[in-house]
Amino acid sequence: MFGRRNRGDDGEGRDRLKERMRRDIARAGDGSPAGERGSRAQTSVVGGTDPDAHYEAAQHIEAPVNEFMARLLAQELPILDSTSRSIVNHALRVHKEEGRPQITCVAELPEEIREIMNL
């Protein structure tokens, strides 16, 4: 009953829509068939840990870390309990308020953050 409107009993209308969607995606993907670009992507890029990759959300944070460190922290923070996350946020806030330089690697993180994250 549902979804059978505007197509024949053999599913011909749905197949036409699928083929049209594949063509639209291929056109948007510089001629690559749907799914092909994703399967060739490097794992480090898909995981968000490539230091040279750029992500819009990581560029708009207020923490005193570069884009790469923002992505690394964003991957680890959800794993921590709320108390640990509060300590990390406080340490980053103090780092920024004291006018210290931007954190660009794990070694530059405040000691308490490295201890909490076992780094």
pLDDT at position 98: 94
pLDDT at position 40: 47
CA distances from 56 to 26, 43, 51 (A): 24, 19, 14
- Give the pLDDT of the chain (119 residues) as one tens digit per residue: 444 454 445 566 777 877 777 776 666 555 555 455 454 444 444 445 566 666 676 677 888 998 888 888 888 888 899 999 999 999 999 999 999 999 999 999 999 999 998 87
How far, in Å, CA of 46 to CA of 72, rounded? 13
62-88 pLDDT per residue, tens: 889 988 888 888 888 888 999 999 999
Per DSSP, the three-state class of 1 is coil
Geometric angle at alpha carbon 105, from 101 and 106, rounded to 5°: 115
- What's the whole-number average pLDDT of the chain? 75
How far, in Å, CA of 75 to CA of 97, rounded? 24
Q: What is the pTM of this model?
A: 0.54
Record the tokens describing residue 40, joined without a space.
């060739």
